[in-house]
Amino acid sequence: MANAADIMLTGRTFDGDEAKAMGLANACLAGGEVLPTALAVAHDLANGSAPLPVGLSKRLLWEGLGMTPAMVGQLESELNAQVAKSVDGGEAMAAFRDRRQPNWTGSISSEWPSWDGGAERPVLD
């Protein structure tokens, strides 16, 4: 809050090192490192995890802001169970067992848990 108030109330500018120190950035890079680093991060995002757990993790991060730690833990457990039942949940286990890279074929649009009329929690089968 102190950093947010400082920036918002003063309108001052700050550099990348200060942004990193305040927790607003993960890194401060030289100009020539920005594009290669961004491309490497994009590659990791596109090729790392299956789409469903990534999408659910993003949802949990944002919705968890207003929840107690116990509520976040419970929801995370329920979402992990949902992911384990997904197409890519089985593929993850097979790839691990076979010591190979997974071939993700799941779809967020077809496997996303139902959300009950804007309720905070997914309705899991």
What six digits make up the tokens of 49?
A: 């995890």
CA dihedral sign, ordered 104, 100, 54, 73:
positive
Closest CA to 124 of 95, 99, 114, 89: 114
Second-level CATH architecture of 50-124: Orthogonal Bundle (1.10)
What six digits make up the tokens of 45?
A: 């995002």
Beta bridge partners of 122: 115
Kindly give the confidence (pLDDT) of every residue in the chain, 125 residues in length, as a single tens digit, with 9 standing for 90 and above.
899 899 999 999 999 999 999 999 999 999 999 999 999 999 888 888 899 998 999 989 998 998 999 999 999 999 999 899 999 999 999 999 999 999 999 988 888 887 654 455 554 44
User: In whole angstroms, what separates CA 84 from the centre of its chain?
Assistant: 17
pLDDT of amino acid 124: 43
Q: Where are the domains of the chain?
A: 1-48, 50-124
Any alpha helices (H) in 11-107, and if so which ranges? 16-21, 31-47, 51-63, 69-84, 87-98
